[in-house]
Amino acid sequence: MTCTAEDLQRWLDYATEAALAGGAVLRHYWGNLATIREKGRSGDLVTEADQASEAVVMEVLSRHLPADHGFLAEESGSRGNLDGALVWAIDPLDGTTNYTHQYPFCAVSIGLLVEGEPALGVVYDPIHQDLFRAAHGLGASLNRMPIQVSHTRQLANSLLVTGFAYDRRETSDNNYAEFCQLTHLTQGVRRGGSAALDLAYVACGRLDGYWERGLSPWDITAGIVLVREAGGLVTAYDGASPLTVSSGRLLATNGHIHGAMAAVLQQVTPLPLGFPLA
């Protein structure tokens, strides 16, 4: 399917309206949550803020978009035509654990997949009121001003970010060893707690690289577009293979340190389960 620049701009404006509306809901509930519960996995939280934000986001998008668009949302699941060319991936509150602790690193993330490829993204941090927007061929912006990735060329001079999946206690397929190794090789590795904002921070040059596993399409679709349109590179862990959003893992950098990060990720041996806590 071919989308024109006019199509993407129009959909980007709809996504912006929806993200700002969802963010207003999150500000309303900030520090005033009545219920916090787990969704089945330890540490995977949901609150009335997640659900209310998603309801508003879906209402705005559904009001503007035709019936051939599908929706994949974290809280309510799938609706509409998921087999069609246009599918929206929506996280109404990325960083729920941060949000419940009033740790101000969370966002609304709205991305559009066109025939399975990330094509448009809006990430809105309602606490700092940072609005990140991007669409294929239209560039990336922060609060309506153009952004670009950093110019850091050496891994030793870089600042990275990662995250840890909910199943990290049960699987050796985690990134503890990579975290340790890259901490030694860089100026530092942060753990933000919101994949959408981690990617947005790579896009605007606040961070130089990001990797993580155990992710869902709604976590990363919008952020992938931000990084690419800001001049960065997003691939599979090996640094060369095309990214598959459904794989749940990705490597995103400013491009300059991409090969070096990929080499580390390929060489590090995972820590055994229980080490060193057993």
**Residue 79 maps to a domain:** yes
Measure the CA angle with vertex 109, ends 70 and 133; round to 5°.
Answer: 100
Same domain for 95 and 212? no
Same domain for 140 and 195? no
Burial of 50: CB neighbours in 10 Å, binned 0-12, 13-18, 19+: buried
Picking from 121, 146, 171, the residue at the C-terminal end of a domain is 146
Sorted by sequence, the CB contacts under 8 Å of residue 131 that are 6+ apart come out as 16, 19, 20, 122, 123, 124, 125, 142, 143, 144
Q: What is the CATH number of the domain that holds 241?
A: 3.40.190.80
Q: How many domains does the chain fold into?
A: 2
- What are the pLDDT tens digits along the chain (278 aa)? 778 999 999 999 999 999 999 999 999 999 988 877 766 555 567 788 989 999 999 999 999 999 889 999 888 777 878 888 999 999 999 999 999 999 999 999 999 999 999 999 999 999 999 999 999 999 999 999 999 999 999 999 999 999 987 655 666 677 888 999 999 999 999 999 999 999 999 999 999 999 999 899 999 999 999 999 999 999 999 998 889 999 989 999 999 999 999 999 999 887 776 655 54
Tokens at residue 261, please? 């990060």
The pTM score is: 0.93
State the Cα–Cα distance between residues 235 and 218, nearest whole angstrom: 17
Same domain for 222 and 95? no
Same domain for 106 and 238? no
**Residue 277 maps to a domain:** no
Residue 39 CB neighbours (<10 A)? 13
Picking from 146, 165, 199, the residue at the C-terminal end of a domain is 146
Q: What is the CATH number of the domain that holds 87?
A: 3.30.540.10
Same domain for 87 and 58? yes
How far is CA 67 from each of CA 15, 79, 82, 86, 218, rounded to the nearest angstrom? 16, 10, 11, 10, 20
Same domain for 172 and 74? no
State the Cα–Cα distance between residues 94 and 73, nearest whole angstrom: 12
**Residue 224 maps to a domain:** yes
**Residue 93 maps to a domain:** yes
Same domain for 132 and 161? no
The residue behind tokens 């095309």 is 242
**Residue 238 maps to a domain:** yes
Boundaries of domain holding 24:
5-146
State the Cα–Cα distance between residues 131 and 109, nearest whole angstrom: 10
